[in-house]
Chains A and B, each alone.
Chain A
Amino acid sequence: MARGAAGVGKSTVVVLDNGAGFCKAGIGGEADPSLVMPNCMARPRSAKKWVFGDQISEVQDIQGISIRRAMDRGYLINPDTEKEIWDRIFKTHLKIRPSECSLLLVEPLFSIPAIQKSTDEIIFEEFGFQSLYVGNAPALTHNYHAECAPESFLAKSNCSLVVDAGFSFTHAAPVFDGFVVNHAAKRMNLGGKALTNYLKELVSYRAWNMMDETYIMEDVKEKLCFCSLDISTDLDIARRRGRSNYYQCDYILPDGIKYKRGFVKDPDAAAAYISKRQRLDSEVEEGVQEVISREAEAPREELRTIGKAGIPTKADQQVLTLTNERFLVPEMLFHPADLGMNEAGLAECIVRAVKACHPSLYPVLYSNVLLTGGSTLFHGFKERLETELRPLVPDEFQVSVQSVDNPLLAAWKGGSLLAASQEFQKAAVTKKEYEECGSMRCRRRFML
């Protein structure tokens, strides 16, 4: 293992978490990535030129923006596009010279050799990095979380089950002693992108045609979707009319003239379900009904007047009203079968991943379920997963689900910690080694 150290001094390490949704980049050792940008190229409808993901926020007309990604199903399939994006990251944002740096790249689990080879080619041949280390998100997330809470059971056992619900897929990966147990990791082919597209499909049938508005719908999903804890009750509530239906909320779509970006009409009303739901837990259903109707009187009255005043403006406001879509969309992660996918839900996915490990690890893994990835940011995700998981796990085991501090950036932060440590230079593959042995041999060292 000490081979890699030869010839490489202490150099800057670039940490790049190249997710299919967002690309997180920064310098190793720092606390936060200096850049988080959508990992894509975009083109507004009016323009001929493609712009980079980080420029989307400056784009004037967001409607019908086309998005091109270098990734398909989470894996890098278009090295040319990715090269352009990385080029921009390194030159414009990080302002580094690749030939003077090492790279820590976060790659999805189970990449196939052809993709690994083309990735290595860009890194060493196009950019000419000094050395490369390829890590994976579950292990880095685990290490980061263990580092954050050194006294926790997770850190002491150094063993956890990381649920990484990303943009293209969801992995349940047992991590043991800082490494992913590859043969036990399980994958669901459902992630944030599919959920956005599903929401798009639902909305396009019911209200506005949003089939070409992926970017806007992503925003709607992030702002308004949440996980239902009891789907049948919630469906009943969503069916109600008027103010007792506290799931209903409006999103103002951008029209390109008055509103350049979409926004939630009344964020407080949109978040009302959180407090309502907590109260539902503690009180008897019927009593709550009264409370809701009584309490709603005062503030909702105001709302209605706003609504009335807003009627004249309605002509120029494009309002997208969501009710049951808000929780039916994340619901698919737990029951992909409802979509017609022949796949087990997330809870079952976790159980299968655990069962593929040695039985003596079962109790440790079940009590250290760690959530990461952007799709776990739905409100109530953790509670929902707990309620789904509990009946599937034998009752002598304790089930404990915890979220990492920052699910979007956890893998990057883990990478940053690793990049700053002594081990990095030892584990990394140098350019010279790559030139001598080629891609395949080098990869074996990362245990991928």
Chain B
Amino acid sequence: MDDELGTPAARRSSTRAKKVGAKVSAVLTDPNVRAQAALARLDALESDHLAVETIDLDDDDEASLDDEEQGFREKKAAKGTKRKTRRAKAQAMERIGNSKKTPRTFLELLQEANLESLPPHLPSYVRAAVGPPSSGARRHFCTVCGYLAPYTCTLCGARFCSCRCKVVHNDTRCQKFIQ
């Protein structure tokens, strides 16, 4: 994490890579971070809470327009503003009383129900889960084009199938875990 900027990143050409590459890759190659990103992605598959997202969306649009020509630093700044607006919006919504009672998510309710404490013979939501697969084999599909992907990105662990897809991957999505 605390690597000096000079040594391994110096060979790279872009300023972005020089400045943050080493640090970012140190974080990204951490298996914990990757696992977290994977979990966040799975969580996103279940989400449709657009009430908050739509508000963000407008901000995002503006932000992306702004930083189209500018570099990474702006993007970081945009991220900052996004966070701020989200908070501000949430507060605004509370003030308006739009969300009188924010409903708790199902997972919160589930935790509250404390189903683990039930005797093991009783069927419950938790025990009905199908559990892990018997074989750990997992097919990997290219994150760019969708075909079977034999290669892994060394920085972020995403899969790709060919040089062409690697280029696309590096240009557009490497190290930007699915948000």
Quote the shortest CB–CB distance from A239 to chain B (angstroms): 6
Which of under 10, 10 to 19, 20 to 34, or 35 or more describes the interface residues of B? 35 or more
In the assembled complex, which residues on chain A have CB atoms less than 8 Å from the CB atom of B141? 328, 338
Interface string of A229-244 (1 = CB under 8 A from B): 0001001001100000
Interface residues in B57-116 (C-beta closer than 8 Å to A): 57, 100-101, 103-107, 109-110, 112-113, 115
Interface string of B101-136 (1 = CB under 8 A from A): 101111101101101000001111101111111101
The interface stretch among A54-62, A145-153, A188-196 is A188-196
User: How many residue pairs, one in A and one in B, have C-beta atoms under 8 Å apart?
Assistant: 149
Report the bound CA distance from A341 to B35 in whole Å. 11
Given A67-B48, A77-B104: A328 and B146 within 8 A (CB)?
yes
The interface stretch among A277-285, A345-353, A367-375, A418-426 is A345-353
Report the bound CA distance from A365 to B137 in whole Å. 28
Task: Report which of A75, A187, A212 forms a contact with B129, defined as CB distance below 8 A.
Answer: A187
- CB–CB A324/B147 < 8 A: yes
A275 interfacial contact with B, CB 8 Å: no
In the assembled complex, which residues on chain A have CB atoms less than 8 Å from the CB atom of B143? 205
- CB–CB A66/B121 < 8 A: no
Quote the shortest CB–CB distance from A213 to chain B (angstroms): 11
B167 interfacial contact with A, CB 8 Å: no
Q: By the criterion of a CB under 8 Å from any partner CB, how many residues of chain A are at the interface?
A: 65
Main secondary structure of the interface of B (DSSP, over half): loop
A36 interfacial contact with B, CB 8 Å: no
Quote the shortest CB–CB distance from B82 to chain A (angstroms): 15
Task: Report which of A81, A193, A198, A335 forms a contact with B48, defined as CB distance below 8 A.
Answer: A193
- Highest count of chain A CB atoms <10 Å: which of B46, B47, B110, B131: B46
- CB–CB B134/A344 < 8 A: yes
- CB–CB A344/B131 < 8 A: yes
Given A72-B106, A185-B123: A343 and B131 within 8 A (CB)?
yes
- CB–CB B125/A110 < 8 A: yes
B163 interfacial contact with A, CB 8 Å: no
- CB–CB A77/B106 < 8 A: yes
Report the bound CA distance from A171 to B51 in whole Å. 29
Report the bound CA distance from A52 to B51 in whole Å. 15
B145 interfacial contact with A, CB 8 Å: yes
User: Which B residues contact A (CB, under 8 angstroms)?
Assistant: 38, 41-42, 44-51, 53-54, 57, 100-101, 103-107, 109-110, 112-113, 115, 121-125, 127-134, 136-141, 143-148, 172-173, 178
Q: What would be 12 A-B contacts, judged by CB atoms less than 8 Å apart?
A: A43-B54, A64-B57, A81-B103, A114-B112, A183-B122, A183-B127, A194-B45, A201-B178, A212-B57, A324-B147, A340-B38, A345-B133
